[in-house]
Amino acid sequence: EQPEDGEKPHKCEECGKSFRHRVTLIQHQRIHTGERTYKCSQCGKGFVTSTRLLKHQQTHIEERPFRCPDCGKGFKEKSTHVTHRHIHTGERSHKTYKCGECGKGYSQKSNLRAHEKLHTGDRPYKCSQCGKGFRTSTELLVHQHIHTEERPFRCLVCGNGFKQNFTLITHWCIHTGERPYQCPQCGKSFSQSSALTRHQQRH
């Protein structure tokens, strides 16, 4: 049952503050207990509310703008990002096999062949679920996660399951009424990033 406008039936015994929804009260009470349920997957830091975690996670994105398309890992420097990419591509300092199209070098012939598909448009790795083609087996593996039924991150309020913890945190805002996504132009806030995007298109 939804409380009427202005009604705040859920009161904190510690400080007397009242809330419209029980779930918001539970979240508020963590300020007094020191419980930090929301953990950052990047650095392990804990937060009392999902909004604070979302704001904190933004600092990692800003700090590490260079993202690996294969594993999602972020890097502060472009040079470190390029070095990391060698793990996925197999590139080495002794590059015996050169691409005739762009001159890029590889230590293994198989990695050169995979690279050459960028120029030819060849996508031999097909997804058995939807038929979409990919240049490398790594790209196919990353894609296949969208088809898996496994949803380990469960919402304690409504029971909905999610594939990623970040998606669960974003969903949680529906129950708490939090609006962490703010429009820089007019200041209006939204609980979902997609809602903010739609709003910004109207400006």
What CATH number is given to the structural domain containing 111?
3.30.160.60
Q: Bigger pLDDT: 22 or 2?
A: 22
Q: Are residues 158 and 58 both part of a single domain?
A: yes
Asked whether residue 6 is assigned to any structural domain, the reply reads no
Distance, CA of 135 to CA of 144 (rounded, Å): 14
List helix spans (H) across the chain.
Answer: 22-33, 50-63, 78-89, 109-120, 137-144, 165-176, 193-200
Asked whether residue 5 is assigned to any structural domain, the reply reads no
The 3-state DSSP class for residue 49 equals coil
* pLDDT at res. 61: 63
Asked whether residue 175 is assigned to any structural domain, the reply reads yes
Q: Does the pLDDT at position 102 exceed 70?
A: yes
* pLDDT at res. 4: 61
Q: Are residues 137 and 87 both part of a single domain?
A: yes
Q: β-strand 97-98 against 105-106: which pairing, if any?
A: antiparallel
Q: How many domains does the chain divide into?
A: 2
Q: Are 96 and 107 in contact (CB under 8 A)?
A: yes
Asked whether residue 8 is assigned to any structural domain, the reply reads no
Among all chains, which residue has been given the structure tokens 């939204």? 190
The 3-state DSSP class for residue 75 equals strand
Short-list 155, 154, 157, 153, CA closest to 25: 157
Task: Note the pTM of the prediction, 2 decimals.
Answer: 0.29
Q: Whole domain around residue 113: which residue ranges?
A: 69-144
Short-list 181, 145, 182, 142, CA closest to 163: 145
Per-residue pLDDT tens digits for 63-100:
677 777 777 677 777 777 777 777 777 655 456 778 88
Distance, CA of 54 to CA of 56 (rounded, Å): 5
Q: Are 50 and 38 in contact (CB under 8 A)?
A: yes
Per-residue pLDDT tens digits for 145-184:
677 776 767 787 788 888 767 778 878 888 877 787 888 8
Q: Bigger pLDDT: 126 or 68?
A: 126
